[in-house]
């Protein structure tokens, strides 16, 4: 049965919109855990647009499940990760202009640098996941550089408009999940998944964990965090 890791970045987005000290992402993390989340995800961006370093440290110190830190492959982030010691680091690409992460990390271009990062993190006892597009070449390199897991970028599928486009994008995810699983990589999936698109993953048992943020935080504004997480968990458990 797949797990659910809840990303609380957008609780911080709401706080940073007014530069005040509420709402508190750590409180959202506790509520998500109380509702049954298998892990908490935060993305510490270079531009600090939502999550701040203090959020990462506080969440790490109070949660009982696991902390997954999404970060770019930079020396600044490596220093923070080695200090905070999250359970897992997910390496993601990052550009200043993007609204959110726009695609997977291109391992064809960045293999050497990412490999160094993977080694440094693993030597400190941190598991490493790499966020990649559902593409065979990317999976092969993730395997070659000894990543512990991959996270398949599901954004193109979730954003697809026509049925044809949806089918095409989803079949890439299915192929990628099956190949990565065969290579004994743990397989996670995330980006853009909502209470509707999650249903498409029924029967795709190769996926170990979903990483979902925006749709859950958006629902939590109306229902509260615990209920929003419970609603998503019941869909994930029904897959
Ligand atoms: N996985 C990765 C690697 C991401 O960068 C993000 C967005 O921060 C997510 C999952 C969660 O995406 P969403 O907020 O659209 O659920």
227 contact partners, CB below 8 Å, separation of at least 6? 35, 219, 220
**Catalytic annotation present for 110:** no
Ligand 1 binding pocket mutation candidate from 11, 213, 219 (most atoms within 8 A of CB): 213
- Cβ(213) – ligand 1 distance below 6 Å: yes
Closest residue by Cα to residue 117 from 143, 96, 91, 98: 91
Structure tokens at 90: 């997910």
Per-residue pLDDT, 9: 98
Average of pLDDT values for 125-148? Answer: 97
Whole-model pTM: value is 0.97
Checking if the pLDDT of 213 tops 80, the result is yes
- From ligand 1's centre to the CA of 226, what distance in Å? 19
**Catalytic annotation present for 206:** no
CA 13, CA 201: separation in Å to the nearest integer?
Answer: 28
CA 161, CA 164: separation in Å to the nearest integer?
Answer: 8
> What's the pLDDT tens digit per position in 31-67?
999 999 999 999 999 999 999 999 999 999 999 999 9
Q: Whose CA is nearest to atom 11 of ligand 1?
A: 191
Three-class SS state of 186: strand
Answer yes or no: are the C-beta atoms of 200 and 170 closer than 8 Å: yes
| Omega cis (within 30) before 86 | no
* pLDDT band at 103; cut points 50, 70, 90: confident
Pairing of strands 127-132, 67-71: unpaired
- From ligand 1's centre to the CA of 93, what distance in Å? 12
CA 3, CA 232: separation in Å to the nearest integer?
Answer: 11
CA 12, CA 3: separation in Å to the nearest integer?
Answer: 23
Per-residue pLDDT, 95: 75
Average pLDDT, the chain: 96
Per-residue pLDDT, 101: 67
Checking if the pLDDT of 192 tops 80, the result is yes
Q: Whose CA is nearest to atom 15 of ligand 1?
A: 192
Tell me the DSSP string of 24-37. -HHHHHHHHHHTT-
* pLDDT band at 94; cut points 50, 70, 90: confident
List of domains in the chain? 3-237 (3.20.20.70)
């Amino acid at each position: 049965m797949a797990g659910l890791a809840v990303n609380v970045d957008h609780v911080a987005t709401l706080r940073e919109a007014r530069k005040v000290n509420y709402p508190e992402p750590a409180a959202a993390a506790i509520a998500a855990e109380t509702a049954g989340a298998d892990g908490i995800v935060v993305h510490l961006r270079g531009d600090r647009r939502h999550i701040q370093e203090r959020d990462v440290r506080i969440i790490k110190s109070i949660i009982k499940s696991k902390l997954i830190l999404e970060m770019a492959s930079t020396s600044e982030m490596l220093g923070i990760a080695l200090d905070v010691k999250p359970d897992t680091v997910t390496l993601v690409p990052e550009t200043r202009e993007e609204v959110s992460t726009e695609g997977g990390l291109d391992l064809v271009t960045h293999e050497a640098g990412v490999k160094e990062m993977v080694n440094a993190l693993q030597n400190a006892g941190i598991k490493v996941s790499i966020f990649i597009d559902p593409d065979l070449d990317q999976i092969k390199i993730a395997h070659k550089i000894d990543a512990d897991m991959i996270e398949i970028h599901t954004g193109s599928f979730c954003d697809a408009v026509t049925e044809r486009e949806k089918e095409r994008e989803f079949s890439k995810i299915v192929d990628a999940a099956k190949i990565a699983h065969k290579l004994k990589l743990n397989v996670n999936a995330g980006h853009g998944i909502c209470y509707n698109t999650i249903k498409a993953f029924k029967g795709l048992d190769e996926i170990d964990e979903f990483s979902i943020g925006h749709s859950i935080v958006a629902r939590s504004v109306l229902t509260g965090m615990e209920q929003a997480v419970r609603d998503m968990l019941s869909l994930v458990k029904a897959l």
